[in-house]
Amino acid sequence: MGDFLVWVIWFLAAAGCLGSGIAVITFTNPFYSALALIGNLGSLAVLFLLASAEFLAAAQVLVYAGAVMVMFLFVIAYLGDRSEGVRLSGGPNWVRVGAIVAATALLVEVIVVIGMAAGDRLSDPAKIQRSFGSPEEIGRLFLTDHLLAFEITSIVLLVAAVGGVVLGSRSRAEDELDEAEAARAGT
Amino acid sequence: MTTGAWICLWAPLAGALVITLLGTSITRAVAAWISTLSVFTAFAGAVVTFVGLLGRDHEEREVVTSAYTWLATPNFRVDLSLLVDPLSVTMMLIVSGVGGLIVLYSIGYMDGDPEERRYFAYMSLFVFSMLLLVQAGNFLLLLAGWGLVGLASYLLIGFWHERPEAVAAAKKAFVMNAFGDATMALAFFVLMWQTGTLNFLASFEGAAGLSQTAVNLVALGLLGGAVAKSAQIPLHTWLPDAMEGPTPVSALIHAATMVTAGVYLIVRAHPIFELAPSISDLAAGLGAITLLVAGLVALVQTDIKRVIAYSTMSQIGYMFLGAGLGAYGSAMFHLMTHAFFKALLFLAAGLVIHHLANEQDIRKMGGLRGVMPKTFIAFLIGSLALVGIPPLSGFFSKDSILASALASGGYGQVLFVAGLVGALLTGLYTFRLFFVVFLGEPSPFVREHTHDHAHGEGPWTMMWPVAILAVLSVVGGWLQIAGVWHPFGEWLDPIAFGREHLALVEPTVTQDYVTSVIAVALGLLGIYVAWMLYGARSRPVPRNAAVQDTLEHKFWFDELYDLIFYKPAVLLTRGLRRGVEEPLIGGSISGVSVGTRETAGVVGEAQTGYLRSYALAIALGVAILVVVFVSVQ
Amino acid sequence: MQGPDVLWYLVLAAILFSIGTAGVLLRRSPLIVLLSLEIMLNAANLALISFARLHGDHDGQIFALAVMAVAASEVVVGLGLIVAIARRRLDLDVDRLRVLRG
């Protein structure tokens, strides 16, 4: 019974992933695409739980869905009308064709590789403790074996923060543009 | 004694180097004297070597001395070595002695020329090269000297390089000699391959064991080189043109020494030639043909130097005739006496040219006897020696060759007749020149230029060599009187390979006397006819349009070679240039640049500026890479 | 383990990745491109987690956390760029933004 339940949950989460993924790339309105992505992230969090990565599931929901997507929604709201665009390209055809070819090729290849190279070994997961994937374990590793990764990641975040501030600051030209627009709107 | 030989060899080279390195920091006169003294030093060395050799016994008169080993492999070895034996010492004395006199003469002749230093450096270089050639102890070193004299000849013929005729003549000489060099190199290859050595003595021994074909090839190759260097038919057309060089150059290189190198080669390599009798006969035959043709062409020449040049060609024909029949001693004897009287004639002609402000056309000359009496006498002595009138030197040497021809069987006797006809022609053309230039009333041209030279016929540097050579032309022949006294022949005997006496054929006393009488008679007949036509002018010169034309065109040899060699070569080069050089080689260079630009243009299309095309490229690349990684597994 | 094998997770990750690639290549709005990029990153995370589970090793999860951090940073910068572009009154169209054409 427990196993059956797990399978059901798995399929539901997988369906949610795929569905929301397709939704992201097909919606015209970026707002809806962003919401779809939040759904995608949630489904993925469920899958993480099923794979014994509890801490990561929590981080996914808090950081990704919580912070990153909120940021996205804020920007979309700021941009307003200007954020809309055409769904599919009116651009050169060969890009379209090439895109589809590339995506398909990647998909097929990855599956083939997985099947060919590692078919047998994939059906025998290791025995794990109950504490596998717990915050305690992750934390311990971050502060001992993978300390360097931890520190570098923090630097990356710092750089991104600085970059965001710089990119977001107003320039003189933009101020003048805004005033001109306001003046036109006013008259 | 060998020290003398080394000094003889290196002194002129040292002179040339000093003049070259000091350049304009020395005056032209100093350069001239450095050169002269270097050659006289060489002569001193030669004399020392000669005396040293005299002091030895007959059997010990072949000394090989090496400076260092140039190449040593298990199979083959070449040293920088000199062979000191009677033959080489004879040549050393002639080259450095006559050469020294001529270089001394040049001091006066070339005075005032702005490039005197270059001239004297070249002269010293030439003397060194010629000495290297005659002193070499192996064929390779001889070839080195051979090539160097060719170079020096080229440099000196084209000395006045602003004159296009001089440049053309220099090129002609060099190219023709290159042909001879090539045949000689081939001969050396065969010799080296078959006998494993290029040292003279060792290769002579080895040659005895070779097949007839191999020996013939070697001898033929050597003959090719000799024919080119000595201007015998068919490789003779360069010599008359070489008269574009200064007169002392003509005297030294194209009369006394370089052109005799071919004769020297045959005598030096006589064991090989004796093993190839057909080639020796060929050499003698070519000599006979040359002496006749040259004599005929000399009859119509109007340039004083060209008459003497053709005379040289003719006389060397005699030497080839002698050497080809095995009369090596006689050939060398004639080489020596010829050096004396031919140099004398050229230098005397130089006095005339110098006096007449570089005019060389004899039709403008006449009556110089009263104006230049000393030159007149010198020229007379030279001419008589050339024709072979006793008791002057030419008589003894030329007649010994003719007598040997008579004694050499049927073929030899045919050549004997040719030689006699040649004697007649020699008398004719020589005294045609003499009478036209010196006798009669002074021509208007001569009168114009006479008062320019109030100080006599020339400076002492020019007069003394002429005088010395005149004396030598008289007494030089007394070293060997047929049937009576043979010191010259005996002197050369040690170089005979494997036998007692050098000469293959010894004429009897009767043959000697008969030959002498007939030859002298013919010579006098030639002089008489010349007197009739050009001296006393009692008969008009016979003119036949066809004969005149042929003789004036030198039997059409130049035209023939132009047709066979020059024109096809030009066509070939033009065709190659149009078909290969310009499209392929030139085109490929510009093709590289054009191609690069076009490729850049095409490749530049990839920089579209579209974000999505870049992303697509990445995606496709990843797809391909995955395949690669999987398959490489 | 309960539920599907690691193989299933991996195939799902592969399909998600392809979806994300298609989105990046086919949409013209930079916002949507960024979102598609997020999908791709998440697919990679899923694969990493699965392998960590397979080997019983935490390294994959650590890596996934690092990827998350980097993804967040990249979104910050990307959104900053989009805002800057919008401020200068340019079209938010990837095909129009081609000043860097070579």
Q: How far apart are CA B320 and CA A83, in angstroms?
A: 109
Is pLDDT at B617 greater than 80 in this prediction? yes
Residues B241-290 have pLDDT tens digits of 999 889 999 998 877 788 889 999 999 999 889 888 899 999 999 999 99
Which tokens hold the place of B131?
Answer: 């000495």
- Upstream peptide bond of B494 is cis (omega within 30 degrees of 0): no
- Greatest alpha-carbon pair distance for chain A in Å reads 74
- Greatest alpha-carbon pair distance for chain B in Å reads 115
Residues B208-228 have pLDDT tens digits of 888 888 889 999 999 999 999
Task: Tell me what ipTM this predicted complex has.
Answer: 0.90
Task: Decide if C96 touches A, using CB distance below 8 A.
Answer: no
Cα-based angle C26, C27, C32 (whole degrees, multiple of 5):
135
Task: Decide if C32 touches B, using CB distance below 8 A.
Answer: no
Q: Note whether residue C99 is domain-resident.
A: no
Bridge partners (DSSP) listed for residue B84: B63
Q: In the predicted model, what is the mean pLDDT of residues C3-31?
A: 87
Residues B408-431 have pLDDT tens digits of 888 888 899 999 999 999 999 999
Q: In the predicted model, what is the mean pLDDT of residues B143-154?
A: 93
Task: Decide if C1 touches B, using CB distance below 8 A.
Answer: no
Is B612 in Cβ contact with C25 (below 8 Å)? yes
A4 sits in which H/E element? helix A2-26
The reported pLDDT for the residue numbered A107 is: 79
Is pLDDT at B479 greater than 60 in this prediction? yes
Residues B396-405 have pLDDT tens digits of 888 888 988 8
For C48, the domain range is 6-87
Q: How far apart are CA C60 and CA B382, in angstroms?
A: 114
Are B126 and B156 in contact, with CB atoms under 8 Å apart?
Answer: yes
- Which range of B391-400, B553-562, B617-626, C70-79 scores highest in mean pLDDT? It is C70-79
User: What CATH code is carried by the domain that includes residue C34?
Assistant: 1.10.287.3510
Instruction: Closest CB to B609: pick one of C21, C25, C100.
Output: C100
Q: In which band, very low, low, confident or very high, does the pLDDT at B450 lie, cut at 50, 70 and 90? A: low
The torsion angles phi and psi of A29, rounded to 5 degrees, stand at: -80, 120
The reported pLDDT for the residue numbered B630 is: 75
Residues B346-391 have pLDDT tens digits of 999 998 888 887 878 888 788 788 778 888 999 999 999 999 888 8
Task: Decide if C69 touches A, using CB distance below 8 A.
Answer: yes
Q: In which band, very low, low, confident or very high, does the pLDDT at C42 lie, cut at 50, 70 and 90? A: very high
| CA end-to-end distance (rounded Å), chain B | 84
The reported pLDDT for the residue numbered A173 is: 65
Instruction: Closest CB to A34: pick one of C2, C35, C57.
Output: C35
Q: How many residues does chain C have?
A: 102
Lowest average pLDDT, out of B96-110, B520-534, B552-566, goes to: B552-566
Q: Which letter does DSSP use for residue A134 in this model?
A: -
- Strands B77-84 and B63-72, by their bridges, are antiparallel
Which tokens hold the place of B365?
Answer: 């000359």
Q: How far apart are CA A33 and CA A31, in angstroms?
A: 5
A127 or B23, greater pLDDT: B23
The reported pLDDT for the residue numbered A172 is: 65
The reported pLDDT for the residue numbered A91 is: 55
Instruction: Closest CB to B609: pick one of C21, C24, C98.
Output: C98
Q: How far apart are CA C78 and CA A68, in angstroms?
A: 12
The reported pLDDT for the residue numbered B453 is: 57
Which tokens hold the place of B111?
Answer: 């005075």
Q: How far apart are CA B523 and CA B429, in angstroms?
A: 11
CA within 13 Å, CB half, B534: 25
Task: Decide if C14 touches A, using CB distance below 8 A.
Answer: yes
Label residue A41 exposed, middle or buried (CB < 10 Å: 0-12, 13-18, 19+). buried
Mean pLDDT value across chain B: 86
Q: In the predicted model, what is the mean pLDDT of residues B510-531?
A: 87
Count of structural domains, chain C: 1
Q: Amino acid letter at A16? A: G
Q: Note whether residue C24 is domain-resident.
A: yes
Q: How far apart are CA A75 and CA A69, in angstroms?
A: 10
Task: Return the sign of the alpha-carbon dihedral for residues B470, B472, B475, B478.
Answer: negative
**Gap from B596 CA to chain A (nearest CA, Å):** 27
Is pLDDT at A29 greater than 90 in this prediction? no
Q: How far apart are CA B388 and CA B522, in angstroms?
A: 10
Q: How far apart are CA A159 and CA A157, in angstroms?
A: 5
Is pLDDT at B233 greater than 90 in this prediction? no
> Chain A residue closest to C76 (CA)?
A164
Q: Which letter does DSSP use for residue B85 in this model?
A: S
What SS3 class is residue B68? Answer: strand
B608 or A8, greater pLDDT: A8
Q: In which band, very low, low, confident or very high, does the pLDDT at B79 lie, cut at 50, 70 and 90? A: confident
Q: Amino acid letter at B577? A: R
Helix (H), strand (E), coil (C) string for B112-143: CCCCHHHHHHHHHHHHHHHHHHHHECEHHHHH
Q: Amino acid letter at A58? A: A
Residues of chain B with Cβ-Cβ distance to A109 below 8 Å are 623, 626-627, 630
Q: How far apart are CA B621 and CA C2, in angstroms?
A: 38
Task: Decide if A163 touches C, using CB distance below 8 A.
Answer: yes
Residues B170-196 have pLDDT tens digits of 999 999 999 999 999 999 998 888 888
Bridge partners (DSSP) listed for residue B437: none
Lowest average pLDDT, out of B448-452, B577-581, C40-44, goes to: B448-452
Question: Of A73, A160, A122, A24, which Cα lies nearest the Cα of C41?
Answer: A24
Q: Amino acid letter at B256? A: A
Task: Return the sign of the alpha-carbon dihedral for residues A117, A119, A122, A124.
Answer: negative
Instruction: Closest CB to A98: pick one of B616, B626, B633.
Output: B616
Residues of chain C with Cβ-Cβ distance to A53 below 8 Å are 49, 52-53, 61, 64
Is B612 in Cβ contact with C101 (below 8 Å)? no
The reported pLDDT for the residue numbered B537 is: 73
Question: Of B182, B174, B141, which Cα lies nearest the Cα of B156?
Answer: B174
Distances (CA, A) of B157 to A10, B124, B127, B633, C21: 105, 15, 15, 77, 85
Task: Decide if B625 touches A, using CB distance below 8 A.
Answer: no
Partners for A (CB, 8 Å, 3+ pairs)?
B, C
Round the CA-based radius of gyration of chain B to a whole number and report it.
Answer: 30
Q: Note whether residue C21 is domain-resident.
A: yes
What SS3 class is residue C95? Answer: coil
Which tokens hold the place of A102?
Answer: 């590339």
Burial B593-616 (b: 16+ CB within 10 A, else e): eeeeeeeeeeeeeeebebbbbebb
Lowest average pLDDT, out of A127-141, B6-20, B51-65, goes to: B51-65
Q: How far apart are CA B258 and CA B310, in angstroms?
A: 15
Burial A149-184 (b: 16+ CB within 10 A, else e): bbeebeebeeebeebbeebeeeeeeeeeeeeeeeee
The reported pLDDT for the residue numbered A174 is: 65
Residues A52-111 have pLDDT tens digits of 899 999 999 999 999 999 999 999 998 877 666 555 555 556 667 777 777 777 777 777
Residue in this structure with the two tokens 């000849």, named with its chain if needed:
B153
Distances (CA, A) of B318 to B323, B426, B475: 9, 12, 21
Helix (H), strand (E), coil (C) string for C59-87: HHHHHHHHHHHHHHHHHHHHHHHHHHHHH
User: What does pTM read for this prediction?
Assistant: 0.68
Q: Note whether residue C61 is domain-resident.
A: yes
Q: How far apart are CA B368 and CA B438, in angstroms?
A: 4
A137 or B509, greater pLDDT: A137
C-alpha torsion B451→B452→B457→B461, nearest 10: 160
> Chain B residue closest to A89 (CA)?
B612
The reported pLDDT for the residue numbered C48 is: 94
> Chain B residue closest to C17 (CA)?
B619
The reported pLDDT for the residue numbered C73 is: 94
Measured from the Cβ of residue A101, the count of other Cβ atoms closer than 10 Å reads 16
Instruction: Closest CB to C21: pick one of B609, B610, B619.
Output: B619
Task: Decide if B619 touches A, using CB distance below 8 A.
Answer: yes
A166 or B127, greater pLDDT: B127
Is B620 in Cβ contact with A101 (below 8 Å)? yes
C-alpha torsion B134→B136→B142→B147, nearest 10: -70
Q: How far apart are CA B618 and CA A15, in angstroms?
A: 29
Residues of chain A with Cβ-Cβ distance to C64 below 8 Å are 53, 56
Q: How far apart are CA A57 and CA A43, in angstroms?
A: 10
Interface test with B, best of A89, A93, A94, A95 (most B CBs within 10 A): A95
Q: Note whether residue C51 is domain-resident.
A: yes
Are C82 and C92 in contact, with CB atoms under 8 Å apart?
Answer: yes
Residues B545-597 have pLDDT tens digits of 777 777 878 788 888 888 888 888 899 999 888 888 877 777 788 888 888 88
Q: In which band, very low, low, confident or very high, does the pLDDT at C87 lie, cut at 50, 70 and 90? A: confident
Is pLDDT at B100 greater than 60 in this prediction? yes
What SS3 class is residue B485? Answer: strand
Count the helices and strands in chain A (H runs, E runs): 8, 0
Is C42 in Cβ contact with A44 (below 8 Å)? yes
What SS3 class is residue B70? Answer: strand
Is pLDDT at A123 greater than 90 in this prediction? no
Residues B13-22 have pLDDT tens digits of 999 999 999 9
Question: Of B103, B95, B100, which Cα lies nearest the Cα of B135?
Answer: B95
Residues of chain B with Cβ-Cβ distance to A103 below 8 Å are 619
Count the helices and strands in chain C (H runs, E runs): 3, 0
The reported pLDDT for the residue numbered A187 is: 57
Q: In the predicted model, what is the mean pLDDT of residues B100-117?
A: 90
Partners for B (CB, 8 Å, 3+ pairs)?
A, C
Is pLDDT at C12 greater than 60 in this prediction? yes
Q: How many residues does chain B have?
A: 633
Residue in this structure with the two tokens 């360097």, named with its chain if needed:
A148
The reported pLDDT for the residue numbered C4 is: 85
